[in-house]
Amino acid sequence: LRVIERAAALDPLNPRVFRAKALTLISARRPQDAIEAARKALAMNAQLSGTHGYLGLALVLTGKAVEAKAEFAAEPNLSARLAGLAITERTLGNAAAADAAFAELVRARGDAANYQQAQVLAQKGDVDAALAALERAHAMGDGGMSGIGNDPWLDPLRDQPRFKQLLLQMGLA
């Protein structure tokens, strides 16, 4: 976070710095602060890929799922948008809409979104399927796996032996 703060001081007009700050704050379990950073990034560039998704995640984590749904709907990254909508719809009690967003994620992105599928499945409570999706993501070298250590969407998996084994395989435990 100190590095991100330094980058923001050196380059205060760079929305990517504030997007990175939002993700860092989410990873640090400071979602309220992440909301502010993401909004600052979006004020500079409303279409900055990933930023609406980070804002949506922070909003869900602070109990603002209705606001989060609008942010996920605005997210340019298809995988992040559909995963976020699936999770948010389930949070709002809209199981049919959640399942439809997840089905669209699988249809549109397939194995390219194994990591995001794992996020949705973990939040749904389908532990075995979530772990299988993470294992596929790892085997394929999915870039999303870089967030596995701090991703709040994956918190329901953290006590699972298969999850711990995956972290060991990745050199993260």
- Over residues 108-131, the pLDDT tens digits come to 999 999 999 999 999 999 999 999
The answer on pLDDT for 70 being more than 90 is: yes
CA distance 136 to 169: 13
**pLDDT confidence of residue 113:** 96
Q: What DSSP element (H or E) covers 73?
A: helix 65-74
| E strand intervals along 11-136 | none
The neighbour count for residue 165, using CB atoms within 10 Å, is 13
151 residue type, one letter = D
pLDDT of residue 173: 84
Instruction: Please give the pLDDT value at position 16.
Output: 97
Phi, psi at 156, each rounded to 5°: -65, -10
- Which H/E stretch holds residue 169? helix 161-169
Residue 146 Cα to chain centre, angstroms? 11
- Answering whether pTM is above 0.85, one says yes
DSSP state, 157?
G
User: Long-range pairs for 139-146 at CB < 8 Å and ≥24 separation?
Assistant: 140/111, 140/114, 142/112, 142/114, 142/115, 143/115, 144/114, 144/115, 144/116, 145/115, 145/170
Task: Give the DSSP H or E segment for 106.
Answer: helix 95-109
Q: Read off the pLDDT of each residue in 19-46 and give the average, rounded to a whole number.
A: 97
The whole-number average pLDDT for the span 9-30 is 96
